[in-house]
Amino acid sequence: MTAGLRATRAYLAARPDADIDWAAAPPRYKRYPPAGRSVLPWNSGSDPLAGLLRDLMGLRPRWSYPVALTGTARQERPLVDVGRPVPSGGGLHPVELYVCTGPGSGRAAGLYHYDPAHHCLDLVRPGDHRAAMSGLLDAPPAVLPDLVVACTAVFWRNGFKYRDFAYNLQCQETGALAAQFLAIAKALDRRASVHVIFRDREVNALLGVEPAAEGALALLTLGTDTAARIEDLPTAADLTATPAAAPLDASPAVPTTLPHLTRLHTTAARPTRVRDHVPRYPGAAAGGPRVPLPDARPVRLADGVAGRASPLAGYRRDPVDADALAAVLAHAARGYRGDLPGAYAAPVAVDPHVVVDRVRGLAPGAYRYDADRNSLVQVGDASAIALVRNGPVHENTGLGLATAAAVVVPVGDPLDADRGLGDRWYRVLQIETGLVVHRAALAAAACDLGARIHSDGANRATDAAIGLTDRPERSLSFLLLGHERRGPRLPAPPPQRRELP
Q: Residue 428's pLDDT band (boundaries 50, 70, 90)?
A: very high
Lowest mean pLDDT among 274-278, 291-295, 315-319: 274-278
Query: Cβ(215)–Cβ(174) under 8 Å?
Result: no
Going by C-alpha positions, the residue among 318, 300, 309, 329 that lies closest to residue 436 is 329
75-115 pLDDT, tens digit per residue, is 667 677 788 999 999 999 999 999 999 987 789 999 999 99
Higher pLDDT, 71 or 250: 250
| Whole-number Å distance between alpha carbons of 171 and 1 | 25
Query: Cβ(374)–Cβ(391) under 8 Å?
Result: no
Query: Cβ(177)–Cβ(56) under 8 Å?
Result: yes
Q: What is the mean pLDDT of residues 39-68?
A: 84
Rg of the chain, C-alpha, whole Å? 22
CATH match for 290-482 among 3.90.650.10, 3.30.470.20, 3.40.190.10, 3.40.109.10: 3.40.109.10
pLDDT value, residue 3? 47
| Whole-number Å distance between alpha carbons of 349 and 432 | 7
Look at residue 439 and give its three-state secondary structure.
helix
372-426 pLDDT, tens digit per residue, is 999 999 999 999 999 999 999 998 899 899 999 999 999 999 998 667 788 999 9
Higher pLDDT, 394 or 437: 437
Task: Inform me whether the pLDDT recorded for 486 exceeds 70.
Answer: no
Q: What is the mean pLDDT of residues 121-134?
A: 97
Q: Which CATH architecture has domain 24-60+90-271?
A: 3-Layer(aba) Sandwich (3.40)
pLDDT value, residue 492? 52
Q: What is the mean pLDDT of residues 212-225?
A: 97
| Whole-number Å distance between alpha carbons of 113 and 121 | 5
Higher pLDDT, 376 or 276: 376
Q: What is the mean pLDDT of residues 246-264?
A: 95
Q: What percent of the chain has pLDDT over 90?
A: 76
pLDDT value, residue 497? 46
| Whole-number Å distance between alpha carbons of 97 and 209 | 12
Task: Inform me whether the pLDDT recorded for 487 exceeds 60.
Answer: no
What are the start-end ranges of the E strands in 7-49?
38-39
pLDDT value, residue 489? 42
Average pLDDT over all residues of the chain: 90
Task: Inform me whether the pLDDT recorded for 2 exceeds 80.
Answer: no
Query: Cβ(330)–Cβ(371) under 8 Å?
Result: yes
pLDDT value, residue 277? 55
Task: Inform me whether the pLDDT recorded for 488 exceeds 50.
Answer: no
Beta bridge partners of 163: none
pLDDT value, residue 278? 41
Domain ranges of the chain: 24-60+90-271, 290-482
pLDDT value, residue 311? 86
Task: Inform me whether the pLDDT recorded for 4 exceeds 60.
Answer: no
Number of H helices, E strands in the chain: 13, 17
Q: What is the mean pLDDT of residues 15-42?
A: 89
| Whole-number Å distance between alpha carbons of 163 and 14 | 10
pLDDT value, residue 221? 98
Q: Residue 479's pLDDT band (boundaries 50, 70, 90)?
A: very high
Q: How far apart are the first and last CA of the chain?
A: 52
159-217 pLDDT, tens digit per residue, is 999 999 999 999 999 999 999 999 999 999 999 999 999 999 999 999 999 999 999 99
Beta bridge partners of 3: none
pLDDT value, residue 396? 85
DSSP assignment of 323-388 equals HHHHHHHHHHT----BSSTTTTTS-SS-EEEEEESSBTT--SEEEEEETTTTEEEEEE-THHHHHH
Look at residue 291 and give its three-state secondary structure.
strand
Q: What is the mean pLDDT of residues 350-356?
A: 97
Q: What is the mean pLDDT of residues 121-130?
A: 97
Going by C-alpha positions, the residue among 148, 354, 165 that lies closest to residue 236 is 148
Task: Inform me whether the pLDDT recorded for 457 exceeds 80.
Answer: yes
Q: Residue 72's pLDDT band (boundaries 50, 70, 90)?
A: low
Q: What is the mean pLDDT of residues 11-23?
A: 84
pLDDT value, residue 419? 72
Q: Which of 13-22, 62-71, 79-88 has the highest mean pLDDT?
A: 79-88
